[in-house]
Amino acid sequence: MIHLRALPGSPSSTLSVDRIAQHAADEARLLAEAGFDALMIENMHDRPYINAPHAPEVVAAMTAAGLAVRAAAPHLPLGVQVLSLGAREALAVAQAVGGSFVRVENFVFAHVADEGLMPTAVAGDLLRYRRAINAQGIAVLADVQKKHASHALSADVGLAQWAQGAAFFGADGVIVTGRSTGDPAGMHDVITCAGATALPVVVGSGVDPTNVREYFEHAAAVIVGSWYKRGGVWSEDPDPARCRALIAAARGG
């Protein structure tokens, strides 16, 4: 996960779009050289997040950054996530930059996040939009029981049912996380999702050299946005030594 610098209009924004894109491209090259298999861009520095629809400058800046990342690592699949609830925006950016997948928070079931109430599952709207813009080749990876959220509204829906609901509504994969950024996903949760659906399961938080091989026994992929940074903190710059160490651990080296 490449966390783009704060975009225009967000409270922490200080950089031009060109500089944001340059930072993203530099990080993409570093990750590609370390041996990562895919990249994803996300506007995590735009905190506090607001729910979609998002302003044109957000889509424009993320498209510019995505094109820079694509040019820096053209051989790697590229994904997009727009916080918060920006599934349509992410799909549009991915279509524009030649992306391969999007990460979607609220694909099925409603919940309450730190951004507020997420009352509507976006699957129906998003997949119709994907058809409308001829973007069927872009995969949708759907979070199940999204991190940084309360699931009291769906407390009687088990994790297996979430995964099955995502599959029934047309997701291309499901993402399992811990409770917050950097919090390891429970192995039982990963196994539960893998057993509940034939969709690929992705571990979306808390991956490090001590657990990556065990995750790969049950998951098709992992998303890393914290451990490879300096001190393992998501908001820091990448640490080349940590990048190499993680890849070596993933490959059993």
In the chain, the percentage of residues whose pLDDT exceeds 70 is: 96
- Could you please report the per-residue DSSP string of 176-191? E--SSTTPPPPHHHHH
Closest residue by Cα to residue 35 from 202, 187, 242, 190: 242
pLDDT given for residue 46 in this prediction: 97
Q: pLDDT-based confidence at 43, cuts 50/70/90? A: very high
pLDDT given for residue 114 in this prediction: 80
Helix (H, G, I), strand (E, B) or coil at 223: coil
> What average pLDDT does this structure show over 187-194?
94
- Could you please report the per-residue DSSP string of 201-222? EEE-S---TTTHHHHTTT-SEE
Domain residues for 173?
Answer: 2-250
pLDDT given for residue 118 in this prediction: 80
Looking only at the bridges linking them, the beta strands covering 78-81 and 2-3 are: unpaired
Q: pLDDT-based confidence at 111, cuts 50/70/90? A: confident
**Alpha carbon separation from 46 to 9, 66, 137, 200 (Å, rounded):** 9, 16, 28, 29
| Contact between 36 and 78 (Cβ < 8 Å) | no
Helix (H, G, I), strand (E, B) or coil at 121: coil
**What is the C-alpha separation between 40 and 66, in angstroms, rounded?**
9
Q: pLDDT-based confidence at 207, cuts 50/70/90? A: very high
Q: pLDDT-based confidence at 148, cuts 50/70/90? A: low
> Could you count the other beta carbons within 10 Å of the beta carbon of residue 244?
15
Please tell me the number of Cα atoms within 13 Å of 9 on its side-chain side.
12
pLDDT digits (tens, 9 = 90+) for 58-89: 999 999 999 999 999 999 999 999 999 999 99
**What is the C-alpha separation between 65 and 8, in angstroms, rounded?**
12
Residue 167 has pLDDT above 70, yes or no: yes
| Contact between 206 and 223 (Cβ < 8 Å) | no
Q: pLDDT-based confidence at 183, cuts 50/70/90? A: confident
Q: What length is written for the chain? A: 253
Residue that wins the pLDDT comparison between 92 and 180? 92
pLDDT digits (tens, 9 = 90+) for 115-134: 877 888 999 999 999 999 99
Q: Show the DSSP H helices in 35-134 as ranges.
A: 56-72, 87-97, 123-132
Model confidence, pTM = 0.94
User: What CATH number is given to the structural domain containing 176?
Assistant: 3.20.20.70
Residues linked to residue 3 through DSSP beta bridges, in sequence order: 42
**What is the C-alpha separation between 32 and 191, in angstroms, rounded?**
29
What is the number of domains present in the chain?
1
Q: pLDDT-based confidence at 151, cuts 50/70/90? A: low
